Structure 1
Amino acid sequence: MSTAANRTTGPDHLWTVDEHLEDILATVRPLEPIELQLLDAQGCVLVEDITVPVSLPPFDNSSMDGYAVRVTDVAGASEEYPAVLTVVGDVAAGQAEPLHVGPGEAARIMTGAPLPPGAEAVVPVEWTDGGLGEGPVTGMRARSQAPEAAGGHVHVYRSAEARAHVRAKGSDVKAGDRALDAGTILGPPQIALLAAIGRGTVRVRPRPRVVVMSTGSELVQPDEQLGDGQIYDSNSFALTAAARDAGAIAYRVGAVADDAETLRDTIEDQLVRADLLVTTGGVSVGAYDVVKEALSSVGDEDEEGAGIDFRKLAMQPGKPQGFGTIGPDHIPLLALPGNPVSSYVSFELFARPAIRTLMGLDDVHRPRARATLTTDKALTSPKGRRQFLRGTYADGEVTPVGGAGSHLVAALALADALIVVPEDVVSVEPGTEVEVVLLG
């Protein structure tokens, strides 16, 4: 169960936002590391430092299609007085036995091909006649020349300094360098680097599996016909998307009707594929708040130490919350309120850090900033509650969008920040500096 079991709180205790978050993060533990193939490790967090076993590039190679030459052989070359060199053959990428370039010689070379012994620089094909005895090769003709036969000649119209158009061995990373640090999230560039240094597998913490379900007999799936008193289920879509955005593998379960036994059975069915369960709705004091009814005694029925604690938080929106663990594996469960804004704000403040903790990250929170409040009138906030208002943030300024209502989904869609009003503040004047949570 959560560490709340050790607190003397009582059912009427009003938890602070920080107490609730502390309880969650003290209970949730990072997932155990596993070895994964590179593409399966995308989005996962490294648990080991990666050292480069072989330099990149592993040999000097050409950065251009052109000719590998000696610097002295092209010194002073111009269109009027070109250097005329004997072509000794072609050097292609992946060629095992490169040619040797001697005095007065050149080797036609492809991008990425190893610089042949004796050569000191590469002149791009555009600086030559392509071995045709004409002017400099340009445009489409430069790209369509046939490979040069050994024994032909090429006219070079510009000089080249030593190492021109040559990628030096180890110029990217050298053998023994640190490629990636433990704690790195593996995205496409990091996977590219791992592949480039020859790593086919890597040890990581897997992406958490998060199951999201909403509750309420009034909920209808999008594209279905609404009946009297019904609304579309938006919460499960929003929170599943938010879980994926946080780095999880998220599964959305269709809305569960207001029946405690059905909800309990559904949750038990989902435990096999969950590292974290998130429910939305049914946690307040209404007669049909089935999440509390279904889960309040789970600890007694399942495993010692498991159970969900339902509590009130000193925040707006999102006062009713539930947290604990469920099942024989003590899977964490976050029970969030059902109003759309309450649900989303609660997810950002509590569920997202839990997901990032499961991933094994050190920094699990959204970034925060200070911003100047730009609005026509003062903001009001209930005393004793930490309020989170939606806003748009840019260039050190934040502007509220919508009102304080927890049902205003359209305003939420415009917001990219949460304006934080502390518990002891009841009014915030325009031009005041406030703290904002950045959602983008």
Structure 2
Amino acid sequence: MTTLNEFSSCVAQYDPHALPVTAAQAIVREWATPVTAVERVPLHDALDRVLAEDIISPGDVPAHDNSAMDGYAFRGTALAAAAASDSSTVELTVAGKALAGHPFSGAVAVNQCVRVMTGASMPADCDTVVPQELVTRTGDTIRFAADAVRGGANRRLAGEDLARGSAALLAGRIMRASDLGLIASLGIAEVPVRRRLRVAFFSTGDELRSLGEPLDPGCVYDSNRHTLFAMLRRLNIDPLDLGVVRDQPAALEAALRSAAASADVVLTSGGVSVGEADFTKQLLQTFGDVAFWSLAMRPGRPLAFGRVWSGERPGVGRPALFFGLPGNPVAVMVTFYQIVREALLKMAGATPRPVPVLQAASREVIRKRAGRTEFQRGVAERDAHGQWHVTPTGSQSSGVLSSMSEANCFIVLDHARSDITAGESVDIMLFDGLI
């Protein structure tokens, strides 16, 4: 069995003490294996679920040629006849009417037309629709300019949207509202989806208190579990909150084993740095398999990735991927979005899409040390000329969670970059679509 440590050591730029962010992302991506179980759910329950199989269209969409607007359907040869006779006007007799759901079933001669409404089936032999606003009607006779339309205009063809047997949606898609509507248009009432990924998470630290508990001297309320719960719910992942675990080896070991036994992924916050009470690292070296412990990243340097088993040693019991996130609140969010999020989407069976990155001019000087990737919080806005500008949200301390609430983007400063001057271009990653 190949261990994560053995695999990771072969990755370019591997440095267990300060792994570059891109290398860490590559390692995590490689070991994020999609869940295989599939279930069929009613269409109304499929929103935000991951499609497990391609949706194949059972018929043409639309099922028949139909009118794209309100007007009159006729044979396009009438236009050629008018041209041949040097007439600038087409005159036709109205033979009947077609509404959506109520087609006209009679024959239509070359000198006739049918009154049609948007979505109505095209009458037999008709291939062109002249909009009603271009027509003058007197009784059952209509007239319009011969150059008002071309043959075949304003007609939607059968199968124009989807042809019978073609893929309407591909497996790996996270289902959106428009997708549910598309599937309903095919007459499909149930869809195959991957089972929801289950993620267990807990916080570590003797100083942490849950909401509702009194704060003893030197203690703080645990915000990380609530942040993690919200981020997981946004991905439609099944979260399992295991609460706060004290800084005691036996308690941590029991929590890790229990989490591995009941979830696909285990997330912890705190306990992976070099403090005297940080026991998680020691425990994982006993019954886990670790790829890296530290990233060349700010915030988020102390981040562990590996596997943990529910048994007493590696390879025994049920395995789960493990992410040991930092304890500082902002670092938890940054590492989740930059390292964990894509892995969870892949494990859920989705095809992760790259998060758009825009260019913006920095309104301020930004201090940056080369040799690490930084994700600073910023407020981005566009000026009257459409140019993006970004301003850092003051203190970039990883403990200032309010800076995340104030911001609307990450300012992404890559590994090799150093100080940024005012007006210099930087990459920004907008929270919309990410958070």
Is the shorter-chain TM-score for this pair beyond 0.5, marking a shared fold?
yes
1:149 aligned partner: none
Amino acid at match of 1:422: H
2:19 pairs with 1:16? yes
Cα pair distance change 1:53/1:379, threshold 3 Å: same
Distance change >3 Å, CA 98–CA 364, structure 1 → 2: closer
Aligned match of 2:61 = 56
**Partner of residue 236, structure 1:** 225
Matched residue type, 2:374: Q
1:249 matched to 2:237? The reply is yes
For the residue of structure 2 that corresponds to 1:296, the secondary structure is helix
Contact 1:218 1:230 in 2 (8 A): yes
Residue of structure 1 in register with 2:181 after alignment: 192
Change (3 A) 1:207 1:369: farther
| Aligned 8 A contact 2:378 2:393 in 1 | yes
Identity of aligned residues (%): 31
1:114 corresponding residue in structure 2: 121
Measured after TM superposition, the shift of residue 348 of structure 1 is 1.8
Cα deviation code 1:199-229 (max 9, x no counterpart): 5555555553333333344444557775654
Give, in whole Å, the separation in 1 of the partners of 2:221 and 2:4: 36
CA distance in 2, matches of 1:58, 1:411: 53
Tell me the amino acid that sits aligned with residue 405 of structure 1.
S
SS at match of 1:14: coil
CA drift at 1:336: 0.3
Q: Residue in 1 aligned with 2:4?
A: 3
**1:141 aligned residue:** none
Letter in structure 1 aligned against 2:19: T
Identify unmatched segments of 5+ residues in structure 1. 76-81, 134-152, 300-305
Change (3 A) 1:267 1:87: farther
Q: Give the conservation status (yes or no) of the 8 Å contact 1:216–1:255.
A: no
Match of 1:169 in 2: 158
Secondary structure, counterpart of 1:29 in structure 2 = coil
**For 2:377, which of 390, 400, 406 is the aligned residue?**
390
Q: Is the 8 A contact 2:194 2:349 kept in 1?
A: yes
Q: CA deviation at 1:253?
A: 1.3
Instruction: Return closer, same or farther for 1:198/1:273 CA change in 2, 3 Å cut-off.
Output: farther
2:300 aligned with 1:318, yes or no? yes
**Residue by residue, what CA displacement relative to the aligned partner does 1:293-346 show, whole Å, maximum 9, x if unpaired?**
6x43662xxxxxx44567233333222222222233311010101101111111
Structure 1 contact 3–26 (Cα < 8 Å) conserved: no
**Aligned-partner Cα distance in 1 for 2:219–2:136:** 76
Match of 2:421 among 426, 429, 436: 429
Distance in 2 between the 1:98 and 1:227 partners? 83
Change in Cα spacing, 1:182 to 1:86, as seen in structure 2 (3 Å) is closer
> CA-atom RMSD, angstroms?
4.5
Which has the higher mean CA deviation after the structures are superposed, 222-231 or 251-260?
222-231
> Is the alpha carbon distance of 1:265 and 1:275 closer, same or farther for their aligned partners in structure 2, counting shifts above 3 Å?
same
Alpha-carbon contact 2:207-2:219 (below 8 Å) kept: yes
Which amino acid counterpart does residue 221 of structure 2 have in structure 1? Y
Tell me the amino acid that sits aligned with residue 62 of structure 1. Answer: S
TM-score normalised according to structure 2 size: 0.72
In the aligned structure 2, how far is the partner of 1:56 from the partner of 1:87? 28
Match of residue 399 from structure 2: 407
1:387 positional shift: 3.3
TM-score by length of 1: 0.71
Contact map agreement 1:63 1:167 (CA 8 A) in 2: yes
Q: AA paired with 1:420? A: L
CA offsets 1:369-413 (integer angstroms, 9 cap, x no match): 5554331x45143x6544332223453544322223111111122
Residues in 1 aligned to 2:8 and 2:134: alpha-carbon distance in whole angstroms: 78
**Alignment length, in residue pairs?**
401
State the match for 1:418 in structure 2.
411
